[in-house]
Chain A
Amino acid sequence: MDPTQFDQEKLSEIIEKYQEKKWGLIPLLQQIQEEIGFIPPESIEPIADALQMYPAQVQGVITFYAGFSLKPKGRCVLKVCRGTACHVKGSRSILRMIKKDLSLEEGETSPDYQFTLETVACLGACFLAPTMMVNRDYFGKLNPTKVTSVLGEYRKDSKEA
């Protein structure tokens, strides 16, 4: 899977939908992020043209929100919580373990675009600390065994895919 080979037509369709709707920048970016998996840098200028904005402005919005990424991400995006509650419950070792297991540093994506490792300030599920998210699923009360099994599940999926 090479996410840099994305569906150009789909991208153009999304941009076309928001033609001249300046208010639509965020929903537009969300849709691209959702459907393409990232916001291809070369799409900034067409987006700006369509919305009658400056390309630098569009870039500013993309880089401001953590939810948008200019780089392709892995099939599974891990968000390990580094908030206070989770920290107290040992999230540092959880993170260290995941880093080792995936051979990834924070913010990195594996060369085969299977995994992306990120950290967040609080997932809002402190009662389950320590926590992490993989794509849209929450995992709480993590311990080494659980982490290994979760990662194993996602790895298995990737083989099947």
Chain B
Amino acid sequence: MKNIVLTINGKKVSAPPGTSILTAAEKNGIAIPTLCSHEELAPYGACRICLVEEENSGRLMASCVTPVAPEMTIHTDSPRVKDHRKNIVRLMIAEHPESCIVCNKGNRCELRRVAAELGVAETRLYPMPNHKPFETHNPFIVRDLAKCILCGKCIRADHERVAVGAIDYSDRGFSSRPVTLHEMPLEKSRCTFCGTCVSMCPTGALSTHNTFFTGTPETEETTICGFCGAGCSLSLGVSDNRVVEVNPSPDRDTVNGATLCVRGHFAHDFLLSPERLLHPLVRETDEEGNTRLAPTGFDAALSTVAGRLADIKRRNGEESIGFIGSAKCTNEENYLFQKIARVIFGTNNITSTGAAGGHALIREVAEKTKGTCRVRRLSSLENADAIVAVLSDTDHAVPVAGYHIKRAVKKGAPLVVIDPYRSDLAAFGGVWLHPEKGGKSGAFGIDAINALTARLIAEGGVDRAFMDRYANDEHGWLPAISAKDPDALAKQAGIAPERVKQAASMLKNRKIAFVPPCDLLERQNGKALLDALFNLALITGALGDKNAGIFIPALENNAVGALDMGCAPDMLPGWRKISDASEKESVAAMWEAAIPEKEGKDIHAMIEAAEAGTLKALYIMGENPLRSLPDPERVRGALKKLDFIVVQDILQNRTTELAHVVLPGAAFAEKQGSFTNMEGRIQSFIPVVSPPGDALPDWAILAMLARKAGYPEHYTAIEKIRQEIRRVVPSYTALGSHRQEWVKQNGSEIPDSFPLAPLHTPGTGSEPDEKFPFIAYIGSRRWHLGAGTRTARSARITASGRTGEIEIAPADAMDLGIANDSENGGKPIIRLLSPFGAIERAAAVNQGLPKGHIFVPQGFYGNDAMQIADFNALKPPGSGWRNVRVRIEKM
């Protein structure tokens, strides 16, 4: 359509039809004050500050909600407009409380700014402060609704952006205000404390609960969130070299836009934890043979590290040393770390605990899709034609990915949720496939996908052309599944056949975006489920479509980057296989160094080797295996047998307690580097504050170590490491040239053919039995990221009183005589026993769990949940440590 031409302040401008006057003006450098409009929210027109005058008609109109029309002659600044704006502000201020002068929003308050710009000092009106509730009980958000100007941004952020629906207006006129259901405090509502509304509120009505800082931060700088794989862009408010506030960054084209989650917004106070490591420590032994960690300098500590490791290598061989890198450290650090392991110490024993936390899925999908699925933008997910979420944990594990799914559904994308649990997503709308009766718990997902696939095939709802062109059915999967009766498959899964029909009719002939959970391959039968899902993606043509395919959420913020950098025992940087001689040689040539022949040990093999005494030393960077791996007692036993442990980390933790040398590293906000998020977005950042005490950026520590160990290349600046990465890793040729870059895919073309996986007839995996009649799943709750080493150090998360109860199905609670609130008001304590261990915790009824299922949230109580998990389930190909058979004992 043709652009519309109009005049604004005497200037001819043109804008596409439907553009608001406000946008047209802004695009032409004409500023109009606003209080209720936001580019990520639908136009609303509540505050009327954006009034402009149309000369021909003499009308005043709110520019944010009025579309441009031909021949309009707009004045944004005429005396009449200004006069009206002033009156509006005068009325708002007359209603505002006097506490305005000590408001934390301070100079960032938009109301004050607009008032100042218009020169409104005294209102000359009768003050009518609107006494509304003040709420400060929760540790995250302070609500001082007397300062609310009813712009509705919080409500719209909550409905449109994060799709939670915790708040809306109640009442009308002078007494209206944004409230929760039944006007409960936020912590008793469905609020997730994402804080999106807080960052959007133009006034001090909503603000961050701060116990350690008041006022306006001195500076604000952009960086990337240190928690999950969404990789949100943060704006950190800094005063006195401390991060005192977090908001979504104002940068454009970020993954999160105006949103964040509770961890990103409020849990970064862990940076100020008194348990931060401040000095290098080296273990000393006194005359009585007692040992302790004594502070020292980096020079001495690194000499010890280089000397001891060289010594162990000389005496026991390269294979006796292991390296554990980190999905929380930067690309540059992981690159350097694996290079040190391989080139200086001559071993491929390099892995990360990502091996137990999501790496397997990223690898498996990359392999199955032959690297064509590396870049999957969440904005594409939001525009998906249809979404199938399987056992999806995005709402808790990777909340920003969850927002995108919900927004897609709000835009009209059909959603099918396959999950035995009534997750937030299952409750959100669409069709929910769950075992209504019967079905094997461990096999539910596969059975459900098979039923759906068979139904889609039977109804001709698949993309025959794509399938014929690309699918290579070497295992005879298609005839096998086509021969099955879809209804019988549905019944086998315990799903009503009608529901599968309904789901299939919604998905028919659509390009589907699939969202598995980040921990799919740590669940029972995860691999078979992924096979089934991949086959469905293939026959529906999803793989060839931009807004479809498989979207893999990553739990840790640099899970993807750590893999790209070769933090794996069988892979060099750039996913080059060690078993492939030519690939290995190509890296060796670039490094001008030999690369050890043999593939290294994964995390499971390392622990076993430590137990067997063949592994003598471990260098652990940014990981806390004693908290994050199953069966911590076994891991501790293994680590205790080692001669030498180096731990480079930011917080004192259980693993640092066992270390012989502790090296204090820097957290994301304190260093330069880059992270690669779940979408394949490489985001570079610079330090916002300096590291505490003597701590140093991890890459700098590694560079010093390389030098101590006699390596000729001196990595004096991060740029040196980047130069090398750009050369060695083909998908990272643009690293560091801009704030954000994208992983270069293996060519954007689809390979000639994808093999279809065989049909899995489930029934494998451990089903509950008489001794252990329940099946437990160890999963995420949004308050903690993974094992919770950092989030448990957040004063806010701790103060929130979330205690991570063991969640039980209503029917089971009834059978066991466990009520949500026992008579004395407390929660009943239960003992949960698995074949591998036991934990004791409070129990709570979760209405969304089916009978026989138990949910154990991770991260709480020192992540004690790992005590019931089976360490051997980590052994490749992995049998799903997150699912265990358990029984309950009442205490």
Binding site for B on A (CB under 8 A): 41, 44-45, 52-57, 59-60, 63-64
Which residues of B are found within 8 Å of A63, using beta-carbon distances? 170-172
Which 3 residue pairs spanning A and B have beta carbons closest together? A54-B165, A56-B168, A60-B168
- Known: A41-B182, A59-B181. Contact between A54 and B159, CB under 8 A? yes
- Contact check, A59 vs B429: say whether CB atoms are below 8 A apart: no
- Known: A44-B181, A59-B181, A59-B182. Contact between A54 and B429, CB under 8 A? no
> A59 vs B179: C-alpha distance in the bound complex, in angstroms?
9
Complex interface residues of chain B between 379 and 406 (CB less than 8 A to chain A): none
> A55 vs B165: C-alpha distance in the bound complex, in angstroms?
7
In this complex, what residue of B is CB-closest to A20?
B429
Which residues of A are found within 8 Å of B171, using beta-carbon distances? 63-64
In this complex, what residue of B is CB-closest to A42?
B182
Nearest CB on A from B164, distance (A): 8
Supply 8 further A-B pairs (C-beta < 8 A) apart from A41-B182, A56-B168, A59-B182. A53-B165, A54-B165, A56-B167, A56-B181, A57-B168, A63-B170, A64-B170, A64-B172
- Contact check, B182 vs A54: say whether CB atoms are below 8 A apart: no
Complex interface residues of chain B between 170 and 205 (CB less than 8 A to chain A): 170-172, 179-182, 189-190
Which residues of A are found within 8 Å of B181, using beta-carbon distances? 44-45, 55-56, 59
Instruction: Sample 19 A-B pairs with CB under 8 A, ordered by A number.
Output: A44-B181, A54-B159, A54-B165, A54-B166, A55-B181, A55-B190, A56-B165, A56-B168, A56-B179, A56-B180, A56-B181, A57-B159, A57-B165, A59-B181, A60-B169, A60-B170, A63-B171, A63-B172, A64-B171
Which residues of B are found within 8 Å of A41, using beta-carbon distances? 182
In this complex, what residue of B is CB-closest to A45?
B181
Choose among B166, B172, B429 the residue that contacts A56 (Cβ–Cβ < 8 A): B166
Kindly name the residue among B170, B189, B190 whose own CB sees the greatest number of chain A CB atoms within 10 A: B170
1/0 contact string of B611-624 vs chain A (CB within 8 Å): 00000000000000
Q: A interface, by DSSP: helix, strand, loop or mixed?
A: helix
In this complex, what residue of B is CB-closest to A41?
B182
Nearest CB on B from A60, distance (A): 4
Kindly name the residue among A44, A53, A60 whose own CB sees the greatest number of chain B CB atoms within 10 A: A60
Binding site for A on B (CB under 8 A): 159, 164-172, 179-182, 189-190, 429
In this complex, what residue of A is CB-closest to B164?
A54
Which residues of B are found within 8 Å of A59, using beta-carbon distances? 168, 170, 179, 181-182
> A59 vs B171: C-alpha distance in the bound complex, in angstroms?
9
In this complex, what residue of B is CB-closest to A56?
B168
> A95 vs B407: C-alpha distance in the bound complex, in angstroms?
51
Kindly name the residue among A41, A53, A54, A64 whose own CB sees the greatest number of chain B CB atoms within 10 A: A54
In this complex, what residue of B is CB-closest to A49?
B427
- Contact check, B182 vs A64: say whether CB atoms are below 8 A apart: no
> A60 vs B179: C-alpha distance in the bound complex, in angstroms?
9
In this complex, what residue of B is CB-closest to A61?
B168
Which residues of B are found within 8 Å of A60, using beta-carbon distances? 168-170
- Known: A41-B182, A54-B159. Contact between A64 and B169, CB under 8 A? yes
Nearest CB on A from B250, distance (A): 28
Nearest CB on A from B760, distance (A): 35
> A101 vs B166: C-alpha distance in the bound complex, in angstroms?
43
> A48 vs B429: C-alpha distance in the bound complex, in angstroms?
12
In this complex, what residue of A is CB-closest to B173?
A64
> A57 vs B159: C-alpha distance in the bound complex, in angstroms?
9
In this complex, what residue of B is CB-closest to A44?
B181
Nearest CB on A from B145, distance (A): 15
Which residues of A are found within 8 Å of B179, using beta-carbon distances? 56, 59
Which residues of A are found within 8 Å of B166, using beta-carbon distances? 54, 56
> A132 vs B180: C-alpha distance in the bound complex, in angstroms?
35
Nearest CB on B from A50, distance (A): 12
> A45 vs B182: C-alpha distance in the bound complex, in angstroms?
11
> A57 vs B164: C-alpha distance in the bound complex, in angstroms?
11
> A64 vs B169: C-alpha distance in the bound complex, in angstroms?
9
> A45 vs B180: C-alpha distance in the bound complex, in angstroms?
12
Which residues of B are found within 8 Å of A44, using beta-carbon distances? 181-182
Kindly name the residue among B165, B169, B181 whose own CB sees the greatest number of chain A CB atoms within 10 A: B181
In this complex, what residue of A is CB-closest to B182?
A41
Which residues of B are found within 8 Å of A56, using beta-carbon distances? 165-168, 179-181, 189
> A53 vs B429: C-alpha distance in the bound complex, in angstroms?
10
In this complex, what residue of B is CB-closest to A52?
B429
Nearest CB on B from A94, distance (A): 25
Nearest CB on A from B153, distance (A): 15
Nearest CB on B from A53, distance (A): 8
Which residues of B are found within 8 Å of A52, using beta-carbon distances? 429
Which residues of A are found within 8 Å of B167, using beta-carbon distances? 56
In this complex, what residue of B is CB-closest to A60?
B168
In this complex, what residue of A is CB-closest to B175?
A63
> A59 vs B178: C-alpha distance in the bound complex, in angstroms?
11
In this complex, what residue of A is CB-closest to B429?
A52
> A52 vs B406: C-alpha distance in the bound complex, in angstroms?
13
Nearest CB on B from A38, distance (A): 15
In this complex, what residue of A is CB-closest to B180?
A56
Which residues of B are found within 8 Å of A54, using beta-carbon distances? 159, 164-166, 168
